[in-house]
């Protein structure tokens, strides 16, 4: 199942919302590359880009958190770190073995499901806080 962007996922901070949409579209590209059985030569650059983009994006959110003294920053950052770590394992597995059913399932669970619930829950709370602070 691809990631579906909808206006209800917007957290109300334009820079973050744009990055979320970009992240969703990168993940969907990865899913379709895996679904069409594309080899490592296509998979690895996609994973590499996605890993870099996600890290940068988390940096953006964390910059807002510290700028506006977000009280739940530590727990939020911990979720980002867990994702980066899980993603690193996936990328290493892809590098070693290429696309597989097992890898696809892991991407679905650890990337797609994670992002969906993180954006809809954890990031939404951050957005509500930032909107109140930013006026």
Binding site for Fe ion (CB under 5 A): 61, 123
CB of 28 to Fe ion, least distance (A): 19
Please enumerate in sequence order all residues whose Cβ is within 8 A of that of 59, keeping only pairs 6 or more positions apart, or say none: none
CB of 26 to Fe ion, least distance (A): 16
**How far is it, in rounded angstroms, from Cα 20 to Cα 115?**
9
Count of C-beta atoms within a 10 Å radius of residue 135:
4
The residue (of 45 and 88) whose beta carbon lies closer to Fe ion is 88
Provide φ and ψ at 50, rounded to 5°: -60, -40
**How far is it, in rounded angstroms, from Cα 58 to Cα 77?**
8
CB of 11 to Fe ion, least distance (A): 9
Residue owning tokens 């594309």: 38
The residue (of 17 and 61) whose beta carbon lies closer to Fe ion is 61
The residue (of 34 and 127) whose beta carbon lies closer to Fe ion is 127
The residue (of 34 and 126) whose beta carbon lies closer to Fe ion is 126
The residue (of 14 and 37) whose beta carbon lies closer to Fe ion is 14
Maximum separation of any 2 CA atoms in the chain, in Å: 49
CA-based nearest residue to 86, from 109, 119, 62:
109
CB of 110 to Fe ion, least distance (A): 15
CB of 64 to Fe ion, least distance (A): 10
């Amino acid at each position: 199942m691809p990631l579906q962007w909808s206006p209800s996922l917007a957290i109300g901070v334009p820079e973050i919302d744009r990055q979320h949409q970009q992240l969703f579209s990168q993940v969907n590209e990865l899913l379709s590359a895996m679904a069409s059985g594309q080899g490592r030569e296509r998979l690895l650059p996609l994973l590499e880009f996605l890993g870099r983009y996600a890290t940068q994006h988390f940096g953006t959110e964390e910059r807002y958190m510290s700028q506006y003294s977000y009280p739940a920053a530590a727990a939020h950052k911990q979720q980002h770190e867990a994702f980066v770590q899980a993603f690193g394992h996936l990328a290493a597995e892809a590098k070693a073995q290429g696309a597989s059913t097992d890898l696809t399932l892991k991407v679905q669970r650890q990337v797609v499901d994670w992002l969906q619930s993180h954006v809809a829950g954890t990031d939404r709370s951050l957005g509500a806080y930032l909107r109140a602070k930013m006026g």
